[in-house]
Structure 1
Amino acid sequence: MWKWMLRILLLAALGAAAFLVYDVSRAIEIPEMKVPGKLAPAYVEIAEKTGVPWPYLAALDEVEKGYEGVTPETIRQTATRIQKASGEERPGENGVKSALRKILSKPDADKALKLAESYSWAAAPLGEDYEFPFKKGAKVSYGDTWGASRTYGGDRTHEGTDLMADKGTPIRSVSDGRVVAKGWNELGGWRLTILDANHLQISYYYAHLSRYAEGIERGSKVKKGQVIGYVGDSGYGEKGTTGQFAPHLHLGMYVRESTFSPMREAINPYPFLKVWEKR
């Protein structure tokens, strides 16, 4: 009996090792998130109504138009083109892939399909049931601050979205997940990093907190919508520094090329926020 158990354990170990090698080696390219924030809700809404997944709608517009002149109405027209080319009312992923091969030249189709695959991996939460980081009715303002210039700690660009709010405003987790980092960071002040439970390649960085919610520790599991901390103005100095800027939440999103890759890249959270705010 023990020999059979040993064989089963060995096969399981080999399977896990094979998956790890596959996962690390596939290395899906992390795209620059060019989907305009003002259009992101339309892509998601039209995808839900037509059965054309939003990454393919966006990829077609990005390849053909670079989003120039794109409106909710033209997105609906794009969805109709794909439906007609696929011959299906709700074509789904396979039908859309076939349709794009008919609509576009081979080089453009290859480009669009690769881009859609990247968005499906790196931006999967855009079209899913995630939470805005503040309760409805909270006094919050934000814009697309991605790539803005920052000088503290050396010249650099902003890797996130700043959501301005009163100090002490409760901050909610956008996803189910697990706290993988907590504590002081010179740039981010009191901060948390939460790994997305549904997409293990994605993590969320919440910075400049005034304090943490009770029970939030490294390793803690959290639910979407759960209060994890409170808006503050911590950071830009040694441990405990506050008051160097107006209170706000800095939200960052980081994506790995594979689930277990040690490398991660920042992606613009702004389009996601515009979608989640409307949920």
Structure 2
Amino acid sequence: MLKWIGRLLLIGLLAAVGFLIFDWTRSVDIPEMKIPGKLAGTYVSVAEEKQVPWPHLAAMDEVENGYEQVTPDTIRRRADRLKKEAGRSAVNERSAEQAVKGMFSEKEAERINGLAESYAWAAAPMGENYAFPFRPEDRDRISYGDTWGASRSYGGDRTHEGTDMMAPKGTPIRSVSSGRVVSKGWNRLGGWRVTILDTDHPQVSFYYAHMEKYAEGLEEGKEVDKGEVIGYVGDSGYGPEGTTGQFDPHLHLGIYVRESLFSPSREAINPYPFLKVWEKDQDSS
């Protein structure tokens, strides 16, 4: 009997290791983040209320109607329809995938489920309790819009890979996640900048640029907590080390995602929908 128990434990251990290897090495497409900022918070809150995965709610609207004429009410109705098709009071990703197959044509279902999987990987922090990068007491001094893809010319024609958050120089900047500082120092475009690898989702890293200075003790390899001050708003960058004053003070926030945990390359995704969700969460806390 003990011999069979030992074999079963070994099989279970090997299966667990195999699952981890699959999860770490799987490759997921990084989607273009098309979710409108004004709807992002609704998808997350409705998903929590109805106990369904928000990536499937967003993916269905993106594929079926391109977010046209979508309202909080239509999102709630879509969530109810998904639950009814799944036949469950709480719908997980697997049952949502099966329900979608019963709700749409084969081609549409494949697109929806593929997009939902991509969002669940690349945009996982959007649906979780992350911090807004500025303290509540500083909110009235912060302004930002969807600057993703805007034209930039310094260093050659390029598009903007982040969200610019305008703020007075010296305003404290908080880490949106718990994580590890993986790079810190001067960048010709970003000035004094820091990159933090997310602890909960290590495929995701957050890039903070144009700082005036860093928080005391912030060094590469340091572990930081969600909400911890990591630096202060500045106007550094667009030139050799120490260049300032080339633009108005602001925080440039970037989000970069790897296709797999072992992929060396990273792709930028639009931070704006994330910020609108985290801002809403801060308002309600």
TM-score (norm 1): 0.92
- Structure 2 counterparts to residues 157-172 of structure 1, below 5 A: 157-172=159-174
Q: Distance in 2 between matches of 1:58 and 1:21?
A: 26
Question: What is the identity, as a one-letter code, of the residue corresponding to 1:39?
Answer: L
Residue 104 of structure 2 corresponds to: 104
The equivalent residue for 1:53 is 53
> Structure 2: which 5+ runs fail to align?
1-12
8 Å CA contact 1:20, 1:260 repeated in 2? no
Task: Give the distance between the partners of 1:118 and 1:91, measured in 2 at CA.
Answer: 18
How big is the alpha-carbon RMSD for the aligned residues of Structure 1 and Structure 2?
A: 1.7
Give the percent of matched residue pairs that are identical in Structure 1 and Structure 2: 64
Q: Which amino acid aligns with 2:28?
A: I
Specify whether residues 241 and 121 from structure 1 end up closer, same or farther in structure 2 by C-alpha distance, changes over 3 A only. Answer: same
C-alpha separation in 2, matches of 1:78 and 1:84:
10
- Provide the residue aligned with 2:63 in structure 1: 63
Aligned to 1:23: 24
SS of the residue corresponding to residue 206 of structure 2 reads strand
Matched with 1:228 is 230
Deviating more after overlay: 133-142 vs 83-92: 83-92
Alignment partner of 1:263: what SS?
Answer: coil
CA distance in 2: counterparts of 1:212 and 1:61, whole angstroms: 41
- Match for residue 175 of structure 1? 177
> For each residue in 1:133-179, what CA deviation from the matched residue of structure 2 results, as whole angstroms up to 9, or x when unmatched?
00013110000000000000000000000000000000000000000
TM-score, reference length from structure 2: 0.90
User: Which residue in 2 is equivalent to 1:35?
Assistant: 35
Closer, same or farther: CA 151–241 of 1 in aligned 2, 3 Å = same
Q: Deviations over 1:219-278 (max 9, x none)?
A: 110000000000000000000000000000000000000012101100000000000011
> Which residue of structure 2 aligns with residue 78 of structure 1?
78
2:256 is aligned to: 254
Tell me the number of residue pairs that the alignment of Structure 1 and Structure 2 aligns.
265
Which residue in 1 is equivalent to 2:219?
A: 217
What stretches of structure 1 move > 3 A for 4+ residues in a row?
15-24
Structure 2 letter corresponding to 1:142 = Y
